[in-house]
Amino acid sequence: MVRHVDVPGVGDPRRFGYAQAVTAGGLLYISGQLGIDEDYQPVSDSFDEQAYRALENVRRVLSAAGGGFEHLVSMTIYLTDMRTAPRFFEIRREILGDTLVSSTAVAVSGLPLPNLQVEVQCVALAPSHPAA
């Protein structure tokens, strides 16, 4: 059974034809999260602020599905400048603490909105009672 997860405070992606997250086969597939607010506007031009917000949006998706960072299995990070990778990893360690995930960082030429610098896509174990 496939379930879409609605996420308060992250924005309604249905206008763009996708879901913030989908559960299937015991996994939660989290769409790429950006450093944007609920109106799909960049929170700042600052890499750090975008990285913190992207990870906060991941947390919000996990929470809406009934879980937390401890449910994460893997993370793919898309960066417009690979020189920012070490800083992203520092921010991730700060937020995730001892939670370790499979991880891949990929350099990209751009992201969906101008001035965006980081996108975070994740797979997590689906909590036992995901939101519908």
Return the pLDDT at 47: 98
How sure is the predictor about 1, in pLDDT bands with cuts at 50, 70 and 90?
low
Domain layout of the chain by residue ranges: 3-125
Condensed to tens digits (0 to 9), the pLDDT of residues 99-110 reads: 999 999 999 999
Threshold 0.85, pTM exceeds:
yes
54 token code pair: 């992207």
Condensed to tens digits (0 to 9), the pLDDT of residues 13-56 reads: 778 888 889 999 999 999 999 999 988 899 999 999 999 999 99
- Considering the domain delimited by 3-125, tell me its CATH architecture: 2-Layer Sandwich (3.30)
Residues 6+ apart with CB under 8 A from 50: 34, 35, 42, 43, 44, 116, 117, 118
